[in-house]
């Protein structure tokens, strides 16, 4: 059994897609397929049901997945334990919340790369709570996530608060539009939001429902700058992290709306699995750079 084959299986299991796994591993799709075939041959069992979309695990695959994750984690910890004071080497997998991509994919990654030149930094994006679970089970080593203020981390996951943020309602600078409103004043407004799966969208829907206001979604997009561009055109309202609004090139065309009864204070966390051996200097440096950004 080859470690590359195990990595391919775990990545496909996490993403549900050969193409996404290939992108995460920086190899071709055919290479991932070959690795999966080799693994299944060595195990004497099929671990993936390729007839489903997304790809699902077979009974054998479900039995093997946790053990394969532990194997990869054990190999990584052995390498870290034998480094003898040298700079960390190998690969570290970092999850990044969708709302933090604009922050984390530029300066922090570049600075960590310069400080640890022999370390491969693999990034994966996702929703914060999904990434938190991936850290807990060990499919990523650490993650930068947003959680509602006051929410605690689950057992098996450690972390450090590296900043504060807030979700804010944003509209275009329409003449005569009041900056303050009540939830029921949002009736009939269209929204430009993240796709389903976003906890902020679910929280907004819940508050509007309590106020007997239907949430009408006009546009869905993961890209906040696209959302704000459409808001600036008068296509609707959006709910975005305050740090993204401050950095947006469309900010002069936008205004923050203060809605009574709608408040989303957030905490930015760097979280990592326990125990976490060997990459502490990397996490410390990444946390430091991110703290400066906030």
Token code pair at residue 89:
């080497």
Residue 239: the pLDDT is 95
Give the mean pLDDT of 68-92: 69
Pick the CATH number of 1-82 from 1.10.10.10, 3.10.129.10, 3.30.360.10, 1.10.287.610: 1.10.10.10
Q: What is the mean pLDDT of residues 104-123?
A: 77
Query: Between β-strands 190-193 and 216-220, what pairing exists: parallel, antiparallel or unpaired?
Result: parallel
Q: Which carries the bigger pLDDT value, residue 120 or residue 37?
A: 37
> pTM of the prediction?
0.69
The strand ranges marked E within the chain are 48-49, 56-57, 90-97, 119-126, 142-148, 157-172, 180-182, 190-193, 216-220, 237-241, 254-260, 264-273
Is the alpha carbon torsion for 244, 246, 251, 257 positive or negative? positive
Measuring CA to CA, how many Å separate 175 from each of 22, 29, 90, 172, 237?
49, 52, 56, 9, 15
Provide the 8-state DSSP code for 170. Answer: E
Query: What is the token pair recorded at 204?
Result: 């907004």
Do 1-82 and 165-266 come out as alike in CATH topology?
no
| Beta-carbon contacts of residue 61 (< 8 Å; ≥ 6 apart) | 9, 13, 46, 47, 48, 49
Mean pLDDT of 42-50: 89
Q: How large is the average pLDDT for residues 11-32?
A: 85
Residue 105 banded pLDDT, cuts 50, 70, 90: low
Q: State the pLDDT confidence band at 91, using cuts at 50, 70 and 90.
A: confident
Q: Which pLDDT score is estimated for 273?
A: 78
Say what the pLDDT of residue 140 is: 84
Domain ranges in the chain are: 1-82, 165-266
- Condensed to tens digits (0 to 9), the pLDDT of residues 165-182 reads 999 999 998 766 666 688
Q: Contact 1/36 with Cβ under 8 angstroms?
A: no
> What are the φ and ψ backbone dihedral angles of 278, each rounded to 5 degrees?
100, -30
Least confident of 6-15, 19-28, 141-150, 154-163: 19-28
> Dihedral (C-alpha) 65, 20, 130, 246: value to the nearest 10 degrees?
160
Top-confidence residue, 44 or 110? 44
The CATH number, out of the four listed (3.40.50.720, 3.40.30.10, 3.40.630.10, 3.40.190.10), of the domain defined by the range 165-266: 3.40.190.10
């Amino acid at each position: 059994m080859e470690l590359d084959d195990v990595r391919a299986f775990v990545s496909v299991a996490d993403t549900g897609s050969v193409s996404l796994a290939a992108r995460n591993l920086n190899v071709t799709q055919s290479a991932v397929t070959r690795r999966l075939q080799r693994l299944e041959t060595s195990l004497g069992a099929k671990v993936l049901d390729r007839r489903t979309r997304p790809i699902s695990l077979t009974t054998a695959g479900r039995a093997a997945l946790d053990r394969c994750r532990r194997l990869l984690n054990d190999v990584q910890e052995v390498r870290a334990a034998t480094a003898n004071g040298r700079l960390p080497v190998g690969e570290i997998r970092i999850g990044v919340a969708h709302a933090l991509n604009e922050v984390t994919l530029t300066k922090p990654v570049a600075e960590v790369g310069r400080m640890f030149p022999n370390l491969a930094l693999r990034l994966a994006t996702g929703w914060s709570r999904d990434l938190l679970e991936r850290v807990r089970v060990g499919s990523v080593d650490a993650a930068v996530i947003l959680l509602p203020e006051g929410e605690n981390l689950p057992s098996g996951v450690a972390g450090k608060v590296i900043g504060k943020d807030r979700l804010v309602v944003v509209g275009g600078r329409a003449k005569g539009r009041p900056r303050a409103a009540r939830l029921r004043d949002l009736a009939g407004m269209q929204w430009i939001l993240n796709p389903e799966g976003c906890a902020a969208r679910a929280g907004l829907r819940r508050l509007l429902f309590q106020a007997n206001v239907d949430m009408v979604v006009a546009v869905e997009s993961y890209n906040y700058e696209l959302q704000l561009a459409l808001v600036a055109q008068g296509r609707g309202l959006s709910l975005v992290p305050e740090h993204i609004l401050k950095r947006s090139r469309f900010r002069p065309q936008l205004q923050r709306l203060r809605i009574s009864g709608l408040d989303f204070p957030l905490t930015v966390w760097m979280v990592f699995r326990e125990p976490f051996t060997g990459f502490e200097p990397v996490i410390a440096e990444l946390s430091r750079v991110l703290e400066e950004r906030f």
